Structure 1
Amino acid sequence: MSHPDNKGLKSIKFYVTTKYGCGYIENRSAQSMVATPYASIGSDIYDDLIYKGFRRSGQYVYKPHCEECQECIPIRLSPTLFVISRSQKRVIKKHAHITAKILPLQYSEEHYELYINYQNKRHRSKNDHENDMTDYHDFLIKSNVQSKLIEFRDQGKLVMVTIIDEMENGLSAVYTFYDSTNPKNSLGTFSILWLLNYSLNKKVPYLYLGYWIRKSVKMAYKINFKPYEILINDLWQEASE
C-alpha cells in the first residue's frame, strides 16, 4: 500500500485557482487546489493524493480549497465493512438482470449520447451545450492513471456508464452518468453497490466516492452507504449521521 508521505510528492507543486461559481451550493464561490505538473502524477503519487482528499477530473488532480467554506468532505467506504440496507437489497434485486462490462477508457458515440441526455435532464438547460464534446474528452476520457470504463446494459440497451480509477490503496469512482428517464430506478445507487462488490473481489481496502456535501442534494446520497469514513483535519475517521 502506498504510504501517505510518498517522497514522489516532493516533485509536485500546488496552486490555488481563482474563484468561480460553486456548482453545489447556490450563491457561493469556490476555489480549488490543483496538483502540477499533471504529466508527472502517476499511479503511485495519485494514490497518495487521493488519500489526502484529492480527486481527478481528466488530467487534473484537485481538491476544494475555499476560504470561507468547508462543506466538501472526502468520503470513502470499506467493502469488507459495508452493511447493505433493505432498500439497497431491493435495488440489487430490481436490477439483477443488468449486465456490466469493463472496458478501456475510450470514446464511444453511444456513451457520449447518454452523457448528453444525462446532463440535459439533471444538471442544465438543453441550450447549454456549446462545449459538450470538448468537456467530455477533457474531463472524462483523458487520464494519466489506471482508469477504466464500465458500461451497464439492460437487455442490450446502454443505461449507465461509470468511470473508475484503480489504485493500490483502493478504487476511486470518478463519474457516473445514466438514463435518468425514471429517477426511481436508483441506477446511481446500483452503480455504487456494484463497485463495492467489485472492490471486494479485487481485494482493495477502500472505495473513494469523492466529496460528501451536506447542503447539496446531489451529494447527500453518499452517506446512505454505511459505515463510511470521512476526512477531517487530515485524518480518516468513521462517521455516522
Structure 2
Amino acid sequence: MTDLRELQFYATPEHPCSYLSDRQAKTLFADPKAELNRTDYSALSDLGFRRSGPHVYRPHCGGCSACISARIPVDCFKLSKSQKRVFRNNQDLTVRPTAPVYSDELYDLYERYINHRHFDGDMYPPSPEQFRSFLVDSKQDTFFYQFKSADRLLAVAVVDRLDQGLSAIYTFFDPDESHRSLGKFSILKQIEAVRDQNLPYLYLGYWIKGCQKMNYKIDYRPIQLLLDGHWTQINTNELSMP
C-alpha cells in the first residue's frame, strides 16, 4: 500500500472547462508512476478523485468548487416510479461482466454513441486509440458490464471495483435505443451489483449544479455529496434547482 501522505501530485495548466463554458479549469493528477493498489485508489475515491485511463485525478480549480463528488448509499436507495419503469422496459436484456478489452463490436458502439450524443464535446471525434486510452488502459480492477438483447450489444458500462463499492467510470449505448433509457438502467444495475456484494456505495463521479449533463445523477435518492471534505447525505429536492 502506498503512503498517501507521500504520494506526489501534479497540477495541469489552466484549460477551458468541459462543463461550464465561462470557466477555466485545472486538474490535479496523482503521480502516474506510483503503484496504486485497490486500497489506495479506494481511499483517493473517498477524497474525491476519479480515474480516466491510467490516470487518477480530481478538479483543482482556483476560485471554483462547482465539481462535487457524488455517491449513492445503496442500502438507502429506493426506486422511483420512473426507475421501476426503466427496469421493466429492459427485462429482456442480459448483463454480463467482461474484461476491459478492445474489440470491433465494442468500438463500433462507442463510435456511434460519441458521434450521436457528444459531437459537441471534447471527446469528438472518437478513435480506436481514444477508446483504448480512456476505457481499456487501466491500472485498477476494471471490468465492462455488457448489456445485450439476444446477441446484439446495446450498452457497455465501464466500472472499477473499490474496497467500499463500485465506481461508475463511463457508459455508452446504442443511440437508436433511447426509449430504453439505457444510461439509467446501467446505474440501476450497478446499484444492484453493489448490494449483491454487501458493499455500501456506488460512486458516480462529479455533479455540477446548473450543468444539464450532470442532472441525471441527482435522480438517485438519497445521494451523498462531498462537501467541505465531508460526505453529506441529501434527501430533498433542493439540488434540482437551477
Q: CA deviation at 1:27?
A: 3.0
Of 132, 136, 140 in structure 1, the residue corresponding to residue 135 of structure 2 is 140
What is the TM-score with the length of structure 2 in the denominator?
Answer: 0.92
RMSD: 1.6
Of 155, 163, 173 in structure 1, the residue corresponding to residue 150 of structure 2 is 155
Tell me, yes or no, if structure 1 residue 16 matches structure 2 residue 30: no
Could you tell me how far apart the structure 1 residues matched to 2:101 and 2:34 are? 19
Tell me, yes or no, if structure 1 residue 214 matches structure 2 residue 209: yes
Number of residue pairs the alignment of both structures matches: 234
Q: CA deviation at 1:112?
A: 0.7
What SS class does the counterpart of residue 175 from structure 2 fall into?
coil
Could you tell me how far apart the structure 2 residues matched to 1:227 and 1:99 are? 27
Q: Does the CA contact (< 8 Å) of 2:32 and 2:54 recur in 1? A: no
Counterpart residue number, 1:191: 186
What SS class does the counterpart of residue 75 from structure 2 fall into?
coil
Counterpart residue number, 1:101: 96
Counterpart residue number, 1:46: 41
Unaligned runs of 5+ in 1: 1-5
Tell me, yes or no, if structure 1 residue 88 matches structure 2 residue 106: no
Counterpart residue number, 1:35: 30
Q: CA deviation at 1:198?
A: 0.6
Of 199, 207, 224 in structure 1, the residue corresponding to residue 219 of structure 2 is 224
Q: Does the CA contact (< 8 Å) of 1:38 and 1:60 recur in 2? A: no
Q: CA deviation at 1:184?
A: 3.5
Q: Does the CA contact (< 8 Å) of 1:38 and 1:61 recur in 2? A: no
What SS class does the counterpart of residue 211 from structure 1 fall into?
strand
What is the TM-score with the length of structure 1 in the denominator?
Answer: 0.92
Letter in 2 for 1:42: N
Q: CA deviation at 1:182?
A: 4.1
Letter in 1 for 2:111: I
Deviations, residues 173-202 of structure 1 (Å, cap 9, x unaligned):
011000122433211100000000011001
